[in-house]
């Protein structure tokens, strides 16, 4: 690729047990999807569904046809295993229980 203009990008994917960040040189004008496909990460992690994956750049959700800029880090997001709204609701309910006297009993002084 000596004559073609290239840009340096990274492709990142993380599981609870493993995190990978791959550095690539891509032709200028490449998309997120092209970077994911050319990185080889799909061969390494069979659970990534290239047609339904959620991707972003530096924590901001983007479409797979987004054109990359030099220095971009393409992030592949795993599907959520718990609904964030439901988790917040459960935490709020647990907090209300603690305020209603669910905490440890106070010892009284024997005057």
Residues of the chain with pLDDT under 70: 1-3, 80, 82-83, 97-111
Span 33-56, pLDDT tens digits: 999 999 999 999 989 988 888 999
Provide the residue range defining the domain that includes 46.
6-77
Q: What is the pLDDT of residue 101?
A: 56
The enclosing domain of 32 has a CATH number of 3.10.20.30
Number of domains in the chain: 1
Residue 62 lies in a domain: yes
Q: What is the DSSP string of the chain?
A: --SS-EEEEEEEEEETTEEEEEEEEEETT-BHHHHHHHHTHHHH-TT--TTT-EEEETTEEE-TTPBP-TT-EEEEEPPPSS-HHHHHHHHHHHHHHIIIIISPPPPPP--
**N- to C-terminal Cα distance for the chain?**
87
């Amino acid at each position: 690729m000596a004559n073609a203009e290239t840009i340096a990008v990274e492709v990142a994917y993380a599981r609870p047990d493993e995190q990978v960040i791959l550095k690539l040189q891509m032709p200028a004008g490449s998309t997120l999807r092209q970077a994911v496909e050319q990185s080889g990460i799909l061969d390494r992690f069979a659970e990534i569904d290239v047609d339904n994956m959620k991707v972003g750049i530096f924590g901001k959700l983007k479409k797979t046809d987004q054109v990359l800029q030099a220095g971009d880090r393409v992030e592949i997001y795993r599907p959520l295993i718990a609904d964030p709204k439901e988790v917040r609701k459960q935490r709020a309910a647990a907090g209300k229980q603690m305020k209603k006297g669910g905490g440890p009993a106070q010892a009284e002084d024997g005057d």
